[in-house]
Amino acid sequence: MATSAATSPSHFEAIAKQAETARTQDRVPDAIRLYGEGIRLRPSWADGWWYLGSLLYDQDRFNDASSAFQHLTSTSYRGPAYAFLGLCEYENRNYEAALKSFRAWAGAGWAGSPELVDVALFHFALLLTQDGRPVESLYLLASVAPRLGDVPELSEAMGLASLGLRYLLENYPPELRERIWLAGKAALYAAQSPHDFARADEFASRLEKRYSGQPDIHYFRGTIFTFENKTAEAEREYREELTISPHHSPSMVALAALDLEKANRVEAGELARHAIEADPENPEAHHLLGRVLMENGDLHDSLSELATAKRLAPDNAGVRAHLAMVYAKLGRSQEAKAESAALLALKNKEGVMAPLTVKLRGAKEGAH
């Protein structure tokens, strides 16, 4: 059967060339129409879907763009398509779907142009804060802070995450604006490269002075001191937080980590257990308790806690490292090798979900 002129390869090539010309000449409506015609002629045309989705996204036609990027998630454009899909879903206020798309993007290797990566990381971080994962959010925000610079949106986003406030930029109560801004500026200066801890201390001190009796303020002050390796000051702030919020699991976790560094395993274990009672889904509490049990020689109990931490935070390199150690001590060499391989894979992709303290400490040490 003869191929009609409208469906012939030469006709498709002509349409594809016209679409590219329209796009490069910034004739957006023509380019959208021509790319749409091209994908109808050849549905497997990945470049056509990509440019169609990108142009629709730039025109704020997020529903139409979502359809194009959804089509691309099974192609060679899979990684960046997930990033764009997440952005479209965010703009459509479909936040649960957006968070799922951003996680798929992370799993595909964080691919995309530098501009796309920064925008996607920023919105991913906003959703992580809303989802109750402020540590992961802060890590992502800190990773883009040197490139985005001192912009109000970044300060607000870091303030929300720093104080564990589960809001997006557009919906937090106006009465929280000042404390979010002060916390955000402190976090931003701490995360900048090079770090400006003097300015970070300035804003953190102002925050503490004005809102000393409010939850999470002393904990945040303690994290800044921790970044500066001011252990005694950090410990004082974490304990002050517990006088205001007795069940504040992040402060218990922070104190347990400090105790473990000082080889005070008894108090570290008690604090980790209390943190788990307060928040059973806190992966770092299970991780720290697993470390304490490992050092005490309670390997089977340690394995149970570390396995829980892995379930809650599968991209935590420290959890994988300690699991490998416990498996090795138990003589379970195959599981130890598997965890070591997972650890290497996480390091190869730079462990984007690693804690912010790891990033800041590493950057600080690298500056010497």
Pairwise CA distance, residues 159 & 149, whole Å: 15
Contact 65, 88 (CB under 8 A): yes
Average confidence (pLDDT) over 330-353: 82
Residue 359: the pLDDT is: 36
Which tokens hold the place of 77?
Answer: 């454009």
Pairwise CA distance, residues 52 & 71, whole Å: 11
Contacts of 19 (CB under 8 A, 6+ apart): 31, 34, 35, 37, 38, 48, 51
Residue 271: the pLDDT is: 98
Residue 29: the pLDDT is: 97
* Domain covering 113-246, topology: 1.25.40
What is the pTM for the complete model shown?
0.85
Three-state secondary structure along 69-130? HHHHCCCCCHHHHHHHHHHHHHHCCCHHHHHHHHHHHHHCCCCCCHHHHHHHHHHHHHHHHH
Burial (Cβ within 10 Å: 0-12, 13-18, ≥19) of residue 204: buried
Lowest mean pLDDT among 70-74, 87-91, 287-291: 70-74
Residue-wise pLDDT for 297-332, tens only, equals 999 999 999 999 999 988 889 999 999 999 999 999
Residue-wise pLDDT for 74-109, tens only, equals 888 889 999 999 999 999 999 999 999 999 999 888
Average confidence (pLDDT) over 184-212: 94
Lowest mean pLDDT among 28-37, 105-114, 118-127, 332-341: 105-114
Average confidence (pLDDT) over 40-60: 96
Map out the domains of the chain as residue ranges. 8-95, 113-246, 277-359
Pairwise CA distance, residues 213 & 363, whole Å: 32
Domain 277-359 class, CATH top level: mainly alpha
Is residue 362 scored above 60 in pLDDT? no
Cα pseudo-dihedral 348, 350, 351, 354, rounded to 10: 150
Alpha helices, DSSP H, located in the chain: 9-24, 28-41, 46-58, 62-72, 78-91, 95-107, 114-130, 134-148, 152-162, 177-191, 197-210, 217-227, 231-244, 249-261, 265-278, 283-295, 299-312, 317-329, 333-348, 356-366
DSSP per position, 345-368: HHHHTT-TTS-HHHHHHHHHHHT-
Do 113-246 and 8-95 have the same topology in CATH?
yes
Average pLDDT of every residue of the chain: 91
Pairwise CA distance, residues 16 & 31, whole Å: 10
Is residue 358 scored above 50 in pLDDT? no
Burial (Cβ within 10 Å: 0-12, 13-18, ≥19) of residue 332: middle
Residue 230: the pLDDT is: 95
Pairwise CA distance, residues 346 & 260, whole Å: 24
Average confidence (pLDDT) over 261-287: 97
Residue-wise pLDDT for 139-162, tens only, equals 999 999 988 888 999 999 999 999
Which tokens hold the place of 271?
Answer: 């604090």
3-state secondary structure of 158: helix
CA 254 to chain centre: 20
Q: Rounded to a whole number, what is the distance in angstroms from the first to the last CA of the chain? A: 73
* Domain covering 8-95, topology: 1.25.40
Which tokens hold the place of 58?
Answer: 């730039």
DSSP per position, 295-309: HTT-HHHHHHHHHHH
HSE at residue 345, side-chain half, CA atoms within 13 A, is: 12
- Which of 242, 236, 195 minimizes the C-alpha distance to 362? 195
